[in-house]
A = this chain, B = another copy of it.
Amino acid sequence: MNADFVNPFLESLLNVLGTMASTTLTPGKPKLKKGEVAHGDVSGLIGLVGPETKGSLSISFQESLALEIMQRMLGENPGKINEEVTDMVGEITNMVTGGAKVLLAKKGYDFNMATPIVVAGKNHTISHMSDGTKIMIPFTSPDGNAMIEICFDKVK
């Protein structure tokens, strides 16, 4: 696994949540996905299209963590996942991917981002259909867990 490629996403999520929501997540060890399925209660998904390959990214949150971020970012906790929370998760997904895109462009990786989609539903699963390596980056916090998944098709 290439740390050059994984770290920008990890750093970007820590940076976005730290600056926007004073929330500190503890990153776990990134790992290659082999059969595991990512679960979450609310997930931001974004398609990625590069000159040589294409892929997708997801950031999944447990409900408790999403609501705590909402409380810290906007000073209100709606008590459940509503439209304000899905908007916030879409915005976080855009910022994290955009932040990683800038860091990766400096290292010679280039891609364009589609618009985000946010999925809400208790304990849904996410399956990325790319045929390349799938990387999972887990995050923990006292308020709940998050997971980034990212993958790109094999370059033909």
Contacts and interface: CB of A to CB of B under 8 A. Distances in A.
Interface of A: 43, 45-49, 54-56, 58, 83, 86-87, 90-91, 93-94, 112-130, 151-153
A81 B118 CA distance: 20
Contact of A120 (B55, B94, B127): B127
Contacts of A125: 86, 119-121
B121 A121 contact: yes
Contacts of A151: 115
B120 A123 contact: no
17 contacts: A45-B117, A45-B119, A46-B47, A47-B49, A55-B115, A56-B115, A91-B129, A115-B128, A115-B129, A115-B151, A117-B128, A117-B129, A118-B126, A119-B121, A119-B126, A119-B127, A121-B124
Contact of A114 (B55, B83, B91, B93): B55
A90 B129 contact: yes
Contacts of A58: 117
A78 to B, nearest CB: 15
Contacts of A94: 129
A54 to B, nearest CB: 5
A45 to B, nearest CB: 5
A80 to B, nearest CB: 12
A122 B121 CA distance: 7
Most-contacted residue by chain B among A116, A119, A120, A153 (CB, 10 A): A119
